[in-house]
Amino acid sequence: MQTRTTITTTALAALVAAALAFGAGAAQADPTPPMPSPTPTSTAPSIASPSPSAVPTASPTPTPTPTPVVPLPVVTAIDKKAGHSAASRTATMTGTQLLNLAAVQIAGVPAVDLRVLSDTRARFVIPNAIDYQAKIAAITVTALSDPTVRDTGLTFQYKVANAVDREMAYAFTHWNAYSNRTFGYLSGSDCANFANQTLLARGWTRSSQWFDYGAGRWSATWVSSTAMSRWLAKRRDLVAHLTYSQRDAVTVGDIVQFRWPGHAASYTAWDHTGIVSKVVVLPNGSHDIYYVAHTLNRQYGGGTTGLASWYAGQKIKGSTLRIQFFHLLK
């Protein structure tokens, strides 16, 4: 006969309580650590970082070599401070850095024959006043290293003080006048009248053979180139006659006369009269001439290159252009 085991209610409750107590203690003694979340896998393609050698390196900009600064010439003094307006003269300037001197200008007109003697001295020729007027002319310079024109602070005073100065000052004051209350004006033929006015300004004295009293009271020698030539040829106290081949003896203020092409070589008339306004020494050493005149009024007549090329051109054409001069002695 089987024996039936009977568990009372009180015993069952005790067993349940013991089981619960055991489970709680086990949980405190051996806790299970939490599992980390899995790292998500990226689906984007990986990009390799460039190696240092693959990165381009910019070339360094070369430093330009500085241009050497050449000291500019400085002029401190000049030994000629004043002189005649119708004459040239040699002057010497002193200063510093003159080896860098390229040119000298007087009232904007280049001085000629510049010679740099040392770093502190230079010599040149001051030309006549280009317009033959009295003035105070600024002296400027340019450098070999810099073409800028620079004022030196120095000046040259042109004076109208002698006979030639007065003659040329008058000529360049009235060269383009087409009327004259004192001397009258001969339209189309005023060249001799004008030339004789300049001689009067020079200091010549009227005479019974050579005069102008205005209101049409002229001597033939005053208004006719031919009559003037004949009278001057007899006045060796006043002038010396020169042919074209003797032009190297001509100076500013002298008289020049022309016989135009087409006249016979033996023809004694002269067609035009002027006053020499500039003399230039050519590379071959001979002199070239320019003139101031009325009738086709001009300050520097003779073409762009003076009488020499004009005369030579006429000779090539076989023309009979004649030129004569009267060098003034008074």
This prediction's pTM: 0.76
Name the segment(s) of the chain with CATH classification 2.60.40.10. 74-159
**Residue 247, token pair as written in the block:** 């032009």
Question: To the nearest whole number, what is the mean pLDDT of the chain?
Answer: 84
Higher-scoring residue by pLDDT: 1, 149: 149
The secondary structure element, H or E, covering residue 91 is strand 89-96
Q: Given a cut of 90, is residue 312 above it in pLDDT?
A: no
pLDDT, position 281: 87
pLDDT, position 29: 43
pLDDT band at 25 (very low <50, low <70, confident <90, very high): very low
> Per CATH, is 74-159 categorized as 2.10.70.10?
no
Name the segment(s) of the chain with CATH classification 3.90.1720. 163-328
The secondary structure element, H or E, covering residue 95 is strand 89-96
Q: Amino acid letter at 192?
A: A
Average pLDDT of the segment spanning 82-91: 97
Fold of domain 163-328:
endopeptidase fold (from Nostoc punctiforme) (3.90.1720)
Higher-scoring residue by pLDDT: 198, 304: 198
Q: The dihedral of CA 36, 39, 40, 41: what is its sign?
A: negative
Average pLDDT of the segment spanning 249-262: 92
pLDDT band at 315 (very low <50, low <70, confident <90, very high): low
Q: What is the C-alpha to C-alpha distance for residues 313 and 265, in angstroms, rounded to an integer?
A: 17
* pLDDT tens sequence across 163-217: 999 999 999 999 999 999 999 999 999 999 999 999 999 999 999 999 998 767 8
* pLDDT tens sequence across 118-161: 999 999 999 999 999 999 999 999 999 999 999 999 999 999 99
pLDDT, position 135: 97
Q: What is the C-alpha to C-alpha distance for residues 264 and 199, in angstroms, rounded to an integer?
A: 30
The count of other CB atoms within 10 Å of the CB of residue 321 is: 19
pLDDT, position 54: 54
**Residue 256, token pair as written in the block:** 């020049």
Q: What is the C-alpha to C-alpha distance for residues 143 and 166, in angstroms, rounded to an integer?
A: 36
CA triple 107-253-114, angle to 5 deg: 40
pLDDT, position 168: 98
CA distance to 32, 193, 284, per residue, from 36 (Å): 12, 129, 113
Are 267 and 254 spatial neighbours (Cβ–Cβ below 8 Å)? no
